[in-house]
Structure 1
């Protein structure tokens, strides 16, 4: 349901080679001195005056104070100091250049652009200014100008590593050309630069080389243990490697999560604890997410939030999604307070959450893109719980609990988590029935075609070599069968060519494989009518695709593997009475697929019955019954808050 973070252009501070690292397309900039977080609020106090020696720069004390505030993430205060100083000394270059950096940190991109444009004209060979200017262009979505500015910067200053990272980000994320991004980064590939190694990890992952990607993430973390973007991508990516070593994942999550927490404590970022209080009649719950929108996470939230709103729960939204993202009215309307936080600093968001005086904050991002770990590490809420958007332990000491269920985390697997487990009685997920879903086709395709159509509508990165090897066994066991692969990445010709090469290397006859890209959701749902059975991936299985297939009357053949993520398909299928579609070994997976061809009339009858009855059955199940799910969730959260 989620994606790992990706690199985006970062800004340079006025000191050479020091950068502000951050996902600037999704979140506010992170402070350069310690990219793990912004600073906690300090008590309000009068601005102190400093006596100057004769002949000293009158702006120096104010500039030093602003730098200290900026280094702590207190950019709003730094801005006020600098604006007062500029009023007295408007020509000061050091003040103007640092104010431009503060503007970028506050996402005041037009102000930053205007100031930087003048400074670059005045200082055309200043590397940090040129880098910040290109970032301002990027932030204002002047992509061509940003691209050209970074190309020129890399040409003139080939040793400027951050410029290479920013240029590669544009090639990767905006131009969708990971090979070109790699070419930009390769001349600096051996540098001990955490941001560079992070970017190399993202690029090689996009190119399908997860082993190389993990090596780059490991190097980035060895250079800078508190680099939160790398930590998130590293932990996220470990779940793609088969078999997943969940004990190792827990160990690494805890180790690096502790490093983030220690740095936050060392810098004084953690807020003072809110005073304890008994839970009132109405439960005050915050939801922190980048995906309160038309997104798989949103699909699993819409009816649940609506049902919670009708109970004794007051909901507060802290929405970190991109500007212009479509937010369904049922999602927005469920919240009594809605706060867009994309352009707010971690410090400002943490202050807001603390002022809202929550009983509990639900984080729906974990280590996926758009997360605000810098907010969570400040511990702005009494209790902080991970749910929905992430699928395992976060390893973060400031996350108190994870919401699970007995199917995805059975007894004995609690050891894979650093957090306390809060078990829902049936399922941790509840899908909103698609509003524009077409009617279910009455018969499977194999009723009229001479072959069985297997399908997979998941992200291509989930289709690892072990999955392809198992699918080869399925196709061999069912000679009269074809495989249809479909996802959005196949819009890119490179991705299609790469998948064909991998299929060929796995020994799969390309004449039996159809590759296509996604369509808008209402049309995409209709394509389930063309599939007899979905083949799930592992160790990273489907989520939304499996649940949507159920709604469209199509079963998924899932391979259950250990862990919350590995058992995700199993949990969904068992909650709607399809436990017999869950395989517990690779041989079992092949045997269940082959059984479809062994007795075609029986298979057609079985699949036709599912198409006629599954939607109604599923609609009454815990996987789709939001009213019951919301009641279970409220009880669970109340018990946790009362502890």
Structure 2
């Protein structure tokens, strides 16, 4: 067999191995095979495409783009490469670049189905649902039974609340693909949203039959079983027992040992996707703010990519905030253990995106379950304690829980009312002349037995009506099903008012049209009950058979309204009739309910925090004495008692500051930029040295300046800790190039000057010039600010820096307008390239003009022709959100200290803390930047960088440890 034939055979075998791994969704193996293809067959475009696709699936979009750049070089007209690039850009939330790449794919191949799907994904992510639907329709016209097309159609129709179309799409999808557990899970979720619980359960069971260890489907199955009125508490307990048997490790993992000091401050880890304006955020934030600062240190692990005002409120309490969205369980496990978490608090439960597999690895000495998908026992041995109260978990139910119960003396949550809540209006019945009942809960909680009971109430209350409002009600087919259920129960559809979604303040204002709120069954309303009371509307509840069914009961009891908790449907209807029989009394109740709620234990953050602190310290002290976890309950005087013990644990006394007061004190103590590591600047061409910025930066001790000096114009400069100059070296693509030494040294450059045999641009000699690719500098600790002069091939530098630029904060690029060099980059090309890498053009600065007058007259009149200008680029709004707080702080520091852009700095600081942003404005009224003025910079606190070796070592490695002898003097 010839060498070529053997090579072809080996390529085919490796490609087949890759395809098998890909088809089995084993993307780690697929990546390994793809790397073999790249190494053995780098001339084949399939090799690079395969590696790029694998890296996208492994959530490494930056590396994927670097790989796909090589694929583009080999096959620039390949539509599938453009599609993959669009997918990678979307993963990075670089929407413009993603849309451009998807459009390019369709221009190259108008019948590329997946390019249409990708367009739909991008448009949906940006909220352009009509355009997304148009794109998916185009894809369906090409391949109506393509799995990805049907799946995306489900997502788009779901976002548009066209639930009938969602169900049709699900049926079509499952008729095409009957062996995918993921698709059965998707269909089950959508049927549950429609209240079609039997069908949802059937699909979950099919998913688990295909893959018994499919945790997401099993967790969804458990969570949604709590909506089903036909399941008893025993039925659900049996389902959780199956989950426990399936997902419990064969051997219990070894937990980390963080020491056994019973009195020291404790590291509390918060693990959740709900650390934002979400039921979790609204029910933990005010309590955490009141924890004693000398006792606890908070470290957050957010598994969501969404942040908002509650996120920022929580961030100011935390010693560390880790964004773990998309991170593997291995990475998160390592992070938790490295941080020496003493008590890990899970705030996800069985909800979507949970990390129960990680929790099962027992990454902390103690693990506690609190709010967030808290509908029942988790079924996980790894969780030691579950925070509850005596209403949610009445005495005698302990044996139903795998965790030991911590029964707080009041509510198990602490509600944070939104500051934008509308005022409470007058009683609607007095204004309208009829009674309006209401339920603003998730419609999945509304079922046939519940509708029958509500229908009886409506029939017993003459002239009454029922107002329902939620997202699913924007779908006509969904509303029709509800109306038909009520008509079947004897109530005219005209008495059932149904409304769709609204912004939260408008949603809350709906209660000003409701007299009495009806709690659903068997899954009760938690946050919705608190919101109803906040708006002056009493809630009637019949507790269900599980934790999920007693949310409203505990909020009502702890708000001092136990009479609204009933024990039968007859009592439910009787309590409603009793309330509407005296409208004047009901109107009085309405005007006082907000105050009753806000002064009750449901909203008493200091009281709640005191009990929570006592409980956490008590279970830690028990751990320190090597005692097994035990149930903990509180006595009336605030002391806690473990089950089996008679000696109470005193309430934790703390006279020191709370986490909130410490955060507020830090904010009031004067504005200080505070970030880890120095600001690393890479200056290609020595522009900052030309502007005499080197000394100014060195005085601040906050910067590390690395200068590539192709023409060796600064080779005599003394090197310091904060300044390194690399003469006769340039950024580029890593390949050697040429330095054109000119009559005027200022024009000497890697770019060739335009033909000029007698003027200053005359080339005297050509010298070899090594270049370094940004992405090859392994010793670079970070790259915060990249400045490029006008003498080098800017486009080549950017093309060779996709990975480094993914975390760069600021680009400053000098651009020539006048024709000086051959092949000098065009203004538009630079902007287009930089935008693809997630930057937006923010400002054009430092213009340089030349005069059209003869030399003797030029000095007497202003020059008018634009010769060169700086382009300043910052991350796009979408990418700015994905930066870490430390990165945003660095960017704000650069923009303030160097450029004096106070408005932009204020906006960036506002992302993480609005109070600090306002303090910044107050204390920097007269501050400007170092460039072009020389204002005094603010004080800055910087933690040292952890550097393995000097950047010089890595530059030397890339240059082969020897620079060419021919250098300019």
TM-score, structure 2 normalization: 0.54
Q: Is 1:232 aligned to 2:219, yes or no?
A: yes
Alignment of 1:126-145 (within 5 A): 136=88, 139=91, 143-145=118-120
SS of 2:541 mapped into structure 1: strand
Q: 1:414 aligns with which of 378, 393, 398?
A: 398
- Return closer, same or farther for 1:625/1:244 CA change in 2, 3 Å cut-off: farther
Q: Is 1:393 aligned to 2:380, yes or no?
A: no
Q: Is 1:197 aligned to 2:188, yes or no?
A: no
SS of 1:322 mapped into structure 2: coil
- Return closer, same or farther for 1:446/1:169 CA change in 2, 3 Å cut-off: closer
Q: Could you report, residue by residue, the CA deviation over 1:399-444 in whole angstroms, capped at 9, with x for unpaired residues? A: 3332111011101222332222221121111101321223333x42
Q: Which residue of 2 aligns with 1:99?
A: 51
SS of 2:222 mapped into structure 1: helix
Q: 1:168·1:185 contact (CA, 8 Å) conserved in 2?
A: no
SS of 1:484 mapped into structure 2: strand
Q: 1:455·1:484 contact (CA, 8 Å) conserved in 2?
A: yes
Alignment of 1:434-473 (within 5 A): 434-441=418-425, 443-473=426-456
- Aligned-residue Cα RMSD (Å) equals 4.0
SS of 1:195 mapped into structure 2: helix
SS of 1:336 mapped into structure 2: strand
Q: 1:502 aligns with which of 482, 485, 495?
A: 485
Q: Which residue of 2 aligns with 1:179?
A: 164
Measure, in 1, the Cα distance between the counterparts of 2:243 and 2:76: 41
Q: Which residue of 2 aligns with 1:294?
A: 277
Alignment of 1:15-30 (within 5 A): none
- Return closer, same or farther for 1:611/1:492 CA change in 2, 3 Å cut-off: same
Looking at secondary structure, tell me which structure has more strand per residue.
2
Q: 1:241 aligns with which of 215, 228, 233?
A: 228
Q: Could you report, residue by residue, the CA deviation over 1:237-294 in whole angstroms, capped at 9, with x for unpaired residues? A: 10111144222212211222332234xx69xxx8642125224521211111111111
Q: 1:213 aligns with which of 200, 220, 223?
A: 200
Alignment of 1:27-426 (within 5 A): 86=38, 90-91=42-43, 96-97=48-49, 99-109=51-61, 111-112=63-64, 136=88, 139=91, 143-146=118-121, 161=147, 163=148, 166-187=151-172, 189=174, 191-262=178-249, 272-275=254-257, 277-278=259-260, 279-308=262-291, 310=293, 312-323=295-306, 325=308, 327-390=310-373, 391-426=375-410
With CA pairs under 8 Å and 6+ residues apart, which has the higher RCO, 1 or 2?
A: 1
Bigger drift between 117-126 and 413-422 goes to 117-126
- Return closer, same or farther for 1:160/1:449 CA change in 2, 3 Å cut-off: closer
Measure, in 1, the Cα distance between the counterparts of 2:82 and 2:201: 32
Measure, in 1, the Cα distance between the counterparts of 2:69 and 2:166: 27
Q: 2:219·2:351 contact (CA, 8 Å) conserved in 1?
A: yes
Q: Which residue of 1 aligns with 2:463?
A: 480
Measure, in 2, the Cα distance between the counterparts of 1:284 and 1:92: 52
Q: Which residue of 2 aligns with 1:522?
A: 505
Measure, in 1, the Cα distance between the counterparts of 2:243 and 2:198: 20
Q: Which residue of 1 aligns with 2:813?
A: none
Measure, in 1, the Cα distance between the counterparts of 2:160 and 2:620: 47
- Return closer, same or farther for 1:183/1:453 CA change in 2, 3 Å cut-off: closer
- Return closer, same or farther for 1:64/1:376 CA change in 2, 3 Å cut-off: farther
- Return closer, same or farther for 1:256/1:533 CA change in 2, 3 Å cut-off: same
Q: 1:609 aligns with which of 588, 608, 611?
A: 588
Give the gaps of 5 or more residues in structure 1: 1-53
Measure, in 1, the Cα distance between the counterparts of 2:45 and 2:248: 36
Measure, in 1, the Cα distance between the counterparts of 2:545 and 2:553: 11
Q: Could you report, residue by residue, the CA deviation over 1:543-578 in whole angstroms, capped at 9, with x for unpaired residues? A: 111112222222101112222111111111110111
Bigger drift between 186-195 and 510-519 goes to 186-195
Q: Could you report, residue by residue, the CA deviation over 1:174-225 in whole angstroms, capped at 9, with x for unpaired residues? A: 4544433444443553623211211221232233311011011011112211
Q: 1:627 aligns with which of 601, 606, 611?
A: 606
- Return closer, same or farther for 1:327/1:86 CA change in 2, 3 Å cut-off: farther
TM-score, structure 1 normalization: 0.79
Q: 2:437·2:517 contact (CA, 8 Å) conserved in 1?
A: yes
Measure, in 2, the Cα distance between the counterparts of 1:355 and 1:81: 32
TM-superposed CA distance for 1:309, in Å, is: 6.0
Q: 2:150·2:173 contact (CA, 8 Å) conserved in 1?
A: no
- Return closer, same or farther for 1:462/1:103 CA change in 2, 3 Å cut-off: same
TM-superposed CA distance for 1:361, in Å, is: 1.1
TM-superposed CA distance for 1:126, in Å, is: 13
Measure, in 1, the Cα distance between the counterparts of 2:41 and 2:227: 55
Q: Could you report, residue by residue, the CA deviation over 1:370-406 in whole angstroms, capped at 9, with x for unpaired residues? A: 3223432332222222211122112233333321110
Q: 1:560·1:583 contact (CA, 8 Å) conserved in 2?
A: yes
Measure, in 2, the Cα distance between the counterparts of 1:74 and 1:157: 25
Q: 1:301·1:331 contact (CA, 8 Å) conserved in 2?
A: no
Q: 1:150·1:166 contact (CA, 8 Å) conserved in 2?
A: no
Q: 2:412 aligns with which of 428, 438, 444?
A: 428
Q: 1:640 aligns with which of 605, 619, 623?
A: 619
Q: 1:452·1:532 contact (CA, 8 Å) conserved in 2?
A: yes
- Return closer, same or farther for 1:476/1:558 CA change in 2, 3 Å cut-off: same
Higher Rg: 2
SS of 2:549 mapped into structure 1: coil
SS of 1:343 mapped into structure 2: coil
- Return closer, same or farther for 1:309/1:292 CA change in 2, 3 Å cut-off: farther
TM-superposed CA distance for 1:483, in Å, is: 1.4
Q: 1:253·1:395 contact (CA, 8 Å) conserved in 2?
A: yes
- Return closer, same or farther for 1:155/1:385 CA change in 2, 3 Å cut-off: farther
- Return closer, same or farther for 1:497/1:137 CA change in 2, 3 Å cut-off: farther
Measure, in 2, the Cα distance between the counterparts of 1:612 and 1:585: 28
SS of 1:561 mapped into structure 2: coil
Q: 1:258·1:397 contact (CA, 8 Å) conserved in 2?
A: no
SS of 1:560 mapped into structure 2: coil
TM-superposed CA distance for 1:83, in Å, is: 7.2
For this pair of structures, how many residues does the alignment match? 577
TM-superposed CA distance for 1:467, in Å, is: 1.4
TM-superposed CA distance for 1:342, in Å, is: 1.1
